Amino acid sequence: MGILDMLTSVMAARAAKELDPAVIPVILSEVLGSGGEGGLSAIVARLEQAGLGDQVRSWIGTGANLPVSALQLQEMLGSDVVRQLATRFGIPVDQLSTVLSQVLPNAIDQASPNGTLPRSA
């Protein structure tokens, strides 16, 4: 892990600690599209289309999770979506993107415990 990766990880951990823990699952459900947005399968497809296939496969697989940057997620989700979520939850955009970069890999990993996405995802 390089110095930049370590710094980013420290900043993300600090950003996550500053958020109300109850907000993170709500934000994740918004990002993962628990409604009509297609859910987990749709977000995985969007991540893969954005060139993050290696990361996604590591999250779904049974090995270690590869990192994703806040900027990569912000670009994939779209600045408008991130800005709307940040405004809705009263969180700075950079902080939201940073926290998502830390929690999204684990959320997808936990949703695919056997190395495959559930059919209903």
**Tens-of-pLDDT digits for all 121 residues of the chain?**
444 444 444 445 555 556 666 677 777 777 766 444 557 788 888 889 999 999 999 999 888 999 999 999 888 888 888 888 888 888 888 888 888 888 889 888 888 888 887 766 5
Phi and psi at residue 89, to the nearest 5°: -100, 5
- CA atoms of 33 and 100, how far apart (whole Å): 14
- CA atoms of 121 and 112, how far apart (whole Å): 9
Q: What is the pLDDT of residue 73?
A: 87
Q: What is the pLDDT of residue 5?
A: 44
Q: What is the pLDDT of residue 114?
A: 80
CATH 3.40.50.2300 fits 3-111, yes or no: no
Q: What is the pLDDT of residue 88?
A: 86
Domain boundaries, the chain: 3-111
